[in-house]
Structure 1
Amino acid sequence: MTILMLLLLAVALGADAISLCVGIGMAGIRRKQIYLLTFTIGIFHVIMPVAGYYIGEVVGGYLDRAAAIIGALILIYLGVRMIKEVFSEEGETQILLTNTWGLIVLAGSVSMDALSVGFTLGVKDVNLMQAAIIFGLVAGLMTYLGLTFGKFIGSKIGNKAQLFGGLILIGIGISFLF
Structure 2
Amino acid sequence: MTALATAAEMGQLITIVVMGIALGMDAFSLGIGIGLRGVRLLDIARISLIIGLFHVVMPLAGMFMGHYLGSLLGDVATMTGGGLLVLLGGHMIFSSLRGQEVKPIDHRTLWGLSFFAFSVSIDSMSVGVSLGMFSTDLAFTVLMFGLFGGVMSVFGLLLGRRAGHWVGEYGEALGGVILLAFGIRFLI
TM-score, L = length of structure 1: 0.84
Provide structure 2 residue ranges, at least 5 long, that are not aligned to the other structure. 1-8
Give the 5 Å matches for 1:7-156: 7-90=17-100, 95-97=105-107, 99-156=109-166
Task: Indicate the RMSD between aligned Cα atoms, in angstroms.
Answer: 2.5
Q: Tell me which moved more, 101-110 or 160-169.
A: 101-110
Return the alpha-carbon distance in structure 1 between the equivalents of residues 38 and 105 of structure 2. 8
2:22 partner amino acid: A
Asked if the contact 1:50–1:118 (Cα under 8 Å) also holds between the matched residues in 2, the reply is yes
Which is higher, the Rg of structure 1 or of structure 2? 2
Return the alpha-carbon distance in structure 2 between the equivalents of residues 144 and 30 of structure 1. 12
Return the alpha-carbon distance in structure 2 between the equivalents of residues 121 and 70 of structure 1. 20
Return the alpha-carbon distance in structure 1 between the equivalents of residues 93 and 142 of structure 2. 36
TM-score, L = length of structure 2: 0.80
Residue 161 of structure 1: aligned partner: 171
Asked if the contact 1:24–1:96 (Cα under 8 Å) also holds between the matched residues in 2, the reply is no
Residue 173 of structure 1: aligned partner: 183
Provide structure 1 residue ranges, at least 5 long, that are not aligned to the other structure. none
Q: Percent identity?
A: 37
